Amino acid sequence: MTALPKPDPDLIAGFRSLGDASGILSDIMDELGITGVLPASQFRPTMAGACIVGPALTVRNIALREHPYEAARAKLNRMAEFEAHNLAEPGDVIVIDGVAGVSNMGGISAQTGKRQGEVGAIVSGGIRDVPHSRNVGYPVWATEVTPMTGKWRIETVEINGDVNIGGVRVAPGDIAFADDTGVCFIPRARAREVLELALKKAAAEERKCRLIDEGLAVADLPTNA
């Protein structure tokens, strides 16, 4: 387990200023040849209208070898996302490379993350207790929702190592961005480059929308937004 490398605070503030801009970020990442965009149809948000950005604090889970009923009888719980919560600093995003078909994060875990100042979580795998996480204001983007606990089925094997989320390699400290439309993982080393171009594109799109509202003819609208 290693310490989480942190992007500069002004970078996080800059991405936050974009609002729900996963589409803009996706366009910029295409232009720069950066892989890291995932659709909300695959990673579904639990809270409509939520938009988060922050450094990724990564967790990697694998399936336990023991039969879950035997593990349940023995109270054998090897999930350790609470260790990630313990390491978290305000503004972090928990990113879990999880196990399909079972819950990798429940309501108490979400409540703990909220208390620690995390802005939300992105989970490749199942989650549960969605009303609980909604009630505490902790948004989660996940590939599955299930009542089946991971306590007797999952082992956490690494915190703050590289993970694979939907085919995207994510390193701890990369910038995680998520909104109603999808999820973007921006490599920390290229975040400033992405942000500068995204701010320019956002300004151009804002101007184009203003011209539409003002009634400018379609043929006269700028095409580079």
Q: What is the pLDDT of residues 24-51, one digit of tens each?
A: 999 999 999 999 999 999 999 999 999 9
Residue 113 in any domain: the answer is yes
- Asked if pLDDT for residue 8 goes beyond 70, the answer is yes
Which pLDDT value is given to residue 130? 98
Is residue 4 a part of any domain in this protein? Answer: no
What is the per-residue pLDDT across 63-121, written as a single tens digit (0 to 9) for each? 987 766 676 776 656 677 889 999 999 999 999 999 999 999 999 999 999 999 999 99
Give me the chain's average pLDDT, please.
91
Q: What are phi and psi of 4, to 5 degrees?
A: -80, 120
What is the distance, to the nearest Å, from the Cα of residue 212 to the centroid of all Cα atoms in its chain? 33
Residue 5 has pLDDT above 80, yes or no: no
Residue 1 lies in a domain: no
Largest CA distance in the chain: 71
For residue 223, the model assigns a pLDDT of 76
- Residue 107: per-residue pLDDT: 97
Range of the domain at 155: 9-218
146 has pLDDT over 60: yes
In a domain, 99, yes or no: yes
Are the C-beta atoms of 172 and 5 separated by less than 8 Å? yes
Does the structure show a pLDDT above 60 at 172? Answer: yes
Q: What are phi and psi of 176, to 5 degrees?
A: -100, 130
CA pseudo-torsion sign 21, 5, 47, 101: positive
Residue 149 covered by a domain: yes
Q: Is residue 223 part of a domain?
A: no
The answer to whether the CB of 125 falls within 8 A of the CB of 29 is: no
Domain of residue 186, CATH code: 3.50.30.40
pLDDT tens profile 63-79: 987 766 676 776 656 67
Residue 214 clears pLDDT 80, i.e. is over it? no
Q: Using DSSP, state whether 133 is helix, strand or coil.
A: helix
Q: Among residues of the chain, what percentage have pLDDT more than 90? A: 75
CA distance 216 to 106: 50
Average pLDDT over residues 114-143: 98
Residue 2 lies in a domain: no
> Does 200 map to a domain?
yes
* Total domains in the fold of the chain: 1
pLDDT reported for residue 208: 72
What three-state secondary structure class fits 78?
strand
pLDDT for the residue 213: 79
Question: pLDDT band for position 212 (50/70/90)?
Answer: confident
| pLDDT of 1 strictly over 60 | no
Q: Look at residue 209 in the predicted model and tell me its pLDDT.
A: 73
Amino acid at 84: A
